Structure 1
Amino acid sequence: MHTRTAVAAITAAALLLAGCTSAATDVESKASPTVSKEDRFLTAVKDADFQSWNEKRPSEAELLEFPEQWCDALRDGHSVEWMFDGKDDSLYPIGWNWGTREDDAQQLLILAVTVYCPSYRARVTDELRSSGVY
């Protein structure tokens, strides 16, 4: 009789423990949602504290226009030099009333590529290194 009681108690404890573990996992998955690319990028930009934006910085909306365009250009085979050449179709990060120093722009590009299209990060950093920038 004592054996049955012990087995029942162990079984009940195991089921209770399994239920608690499952519930804990459910709470963790609900409590730690996936952080969006936009939020990761904007956090990295904020942490970088670009000096060229001390007086006038771009809005988050303005910044978020660039990463996908840069990734598309890289996907199409374009170089950093091509993207930042300053011509009419340039993807240099500048707005109507704000600008970005070249070294800050290159770092901004690396941050964007790291988050949005990491498969191009090595290519971008290699290009910047070969030009003596990075």
Structure 2
Amino acid sequence: MNTRTAIATLALLTAATTAGCTSSEPQQAAKPSATPTANPGDQFMDAVINAHLDSYARGIPAADELKAFPPRWCEALDSGHSVKWMLDIFEGGLYPVGEEWGTTKDDANELVVIGVKTHCPKHQAAVLEELRGAGEY
């Protein structure tokens, strides 16, 4: 008998022997392996790229600048603020704009929806309701 055959036979015998064993302890189902979750900032940027927003037809702003907004939007929503408040330059001051780039109002609303979906989905229904109720989404 060659080595490979012997190892295979031994493995089969071990499996057959242990399959017949019983234990007084309940068998636990195999837990699915934890899959790493993608970074919300990276998910946000992927979604922004895939949205093909008119505001960014000439180029998407630097990721680090744009990624800074969703966590701040989530904090504002957690504090009970509205999308209207967040995007008001004088009140919330969280309108997605940089020193060398800007965003139209429609695209800003879309960015908020994307950011909420990737960073704080618990607020997604309320954000959509507010924007749809105002006729802005």
* Structure 1 length-normalised TM: 0.75
1:101 aligns with 2:99: no
Asked if 1 retains the 8 angstrom alpha-carbon contact of 2:85 and 2:92, the reply is no
Q: Deviations 1:56-90 (Å, cap 9, x if unpaired)? A: 53100001110110000111111111111122751
Describe the shift of the 1:14–1:36 C-alpha distance in structure 2 as closer, same or farther (beyond 3 A): farther
Aligned to 2:14: 12
* Structure 2 length-normalised TM: 0.74
State how far apart, in whole Å, the 2-side matches of 1:9 and 1:96 are.
66
State how far apart, in whole Å, the 2-side matches of 1:34 and 1:76 are.
26
Aligned to 2:62: 59
Describe the shift of the 1:67–1:43 C-alpha distance in structure 2 as closer, same or farther (beyond 3 A): same
Aligned residue for 2:45, secondary structure, equals: helix
The gaps in structure 1 that reach 5 residues or longer are 1-7, 16-24
1:110 aligns with 2:113: yes
Q: Deviations 1:13-45 (Å, cap 9, x if unpaired)? A: 559xxxxxxxxx9xx959x64311111111111
The gaps in structure 2 that reach 5 residues or longer are 1-9, 18-29
State how far apart, in whole Å, the 1-side matches of 2:58 and 2:122 are.
34
Asked if 1 retains the 8 angstrom alpha-carbon contact of 2:55 and 2:103, the reply is yes
Identity of aligned residues (%): 43
Partner letter of residue 98 of structure 1?
Answer: W
2:46 maps to which of 43, 46, 51:
43
Asked if 2 retains the 8 angstrom alpha-carbon contact of 1:110 and 1:121, the reply is yes
State how far apart, in whole Å, the 2-side matches of 1:92 and 1:9 are.
63
Partner letter of residue 131 of structure 1?
Answer: A
Q: Deviations 1:65-119 (Å, cap 9, x if unpaired)? A: 1011000011111111111112275100000110001111101100000111001
The count of aligned residue pairs is: 116
Q: Which aligned segments of 4 or more residues in structure 1 are displaced greater than 4 angstroms?
A: none
